[in-house]
Chains A and B, each alone.
Chain A
Amino acid sequence: MNARVYITLKPGLLDAQGKTVKSALDALGFKGVKDVRMGKYVELKLNGAKAATVKADVERMCKKLLANPIIETYRIELVQT
């Protein structure tokens, strides 16, 4: 099973990088962009087959290392292979 983890800064925090990319998009003439939030994408290939177990494992990986709970939130997607 594979897992996709999306890590982004918590909503309230200023995302300086996202803000800069937004102004770059503005400069290119893309006027419809209201906001840009940048983040990280992590792809994991995992041995487990049982979704609940795998999800719990990835959850722990996020809490212990992949994301910093003080500043980031994460979302996990499982993909059957």
Chain B
Amino acid sequence: MKFGVVVFPGSNCDQDCVHVLRDVVRQPVVTLWHQETSLRGVDAVVLPGGFSYGDYLRTGAIARLSPIMRAISAFANDGGLVIGICNGFQILLESGLLPGAMLRNTGLRFICRFVHVRVERTDTPFTNQLQQGQILRLPIAHNEGRYTTDEHIARTMTDQVVFRYCDADGQVVDAANPNGSIDAIAGLTTRAGNVMGIMPHPERASESALGSEDGRLIFASMLEAHAYA
């Protein structure tokens, strides 16, 4: 399964994603520069974390206008697998591929630490190797992670929430919500399920040396989904 990791000016988790996909998940990976117009035949696209375009205007607002995003939209609308991690999630929101928007964390701090998230759905290409209600330990690193919607979106959303922030016992409580996201949303998919945004970084938690291997299960799920596509 060939992965394409998109690189915008200001991306800084692109090489972490390349490393995990190539050396841990052991799949072919190419990097796709934001100015490219073709996805070069990849089977899945990764929009990595970082600060694309310096977070100017709003996080992800400028990146979504990059030439590569047009190809990614077409790919996603055609059923292609797209995962947006952290800034990648913000780009998916700004591009309209996922519903909603991100606001500054309620505590106004850039938060960089491990959190727990609860698996809310296992019938997606990103979670088929996980158990319903399973608790993953993944790191977050963001300043704008307070997911929100407006009334119109809230009305039209179905059960698209894939991950919720929770405590170590899997309880979704305010104290375990690091950034003030509505409904403690940490990960969200499209109705069709082939596009997912996730604020925590699975690529930073895919090797035991880094304190957690839970993130690897998300990439393993993508492999499984591709194998049976």
Contacts and interface: CB of A to CB of B under 8 A. Distances in A.
A20 B57 contact: no
Contacts, number: 37
Interface stretch (B73-81, B146-154, B164-172, B196-204): B146-154
B92 to A, nearest CB: 13
B30 interface: no
A16 B107 contact: yes
A70 B57 CA distance: 15
Interface string B88-130: 0000001000001101111110000000000000000000000
Given A68-B101, A70-B150, A16 B61 contact: no
A21 to B, nearest CB: 10
Interface in A48-81: 65-66, 68-71
Nearest to B64: A65
B2 interface: no
Interface residues of A, number: 13
The prevalent SS among residues of B at the interface is loop
Contacts of B65: 65
A14 interface: yes
Contacts of A9: 103
B226 interface: no
A17 B104 contact: yes
A65 B61 contact: yes
Interface string A34-45: 000000000000
B58 interface: yes
Contacts of A17: 104, 108
B57 A13 contact: no
B180 interface: yes
Interface of B: 57-58, 61, 65, 94, 100-101, 103-108, 146, 148-150, 153, 180
29 contacts: A9-B103, A10-B150, A13-B103, A13-B148, A14-B103, A16-B103, A16-B104, A16-B105, A16-B146, A16-B180, A17-B108, A20-B108, A65-B57, A65-B61, A65-B65, A66-B57, A68-B58, A68-B61, A68-B94, A69-B150, A70-B100, A70-B101, A70-B148, A70-B149, A70-B150, A70-B153, A71-B101, A71-B103, A71-B150
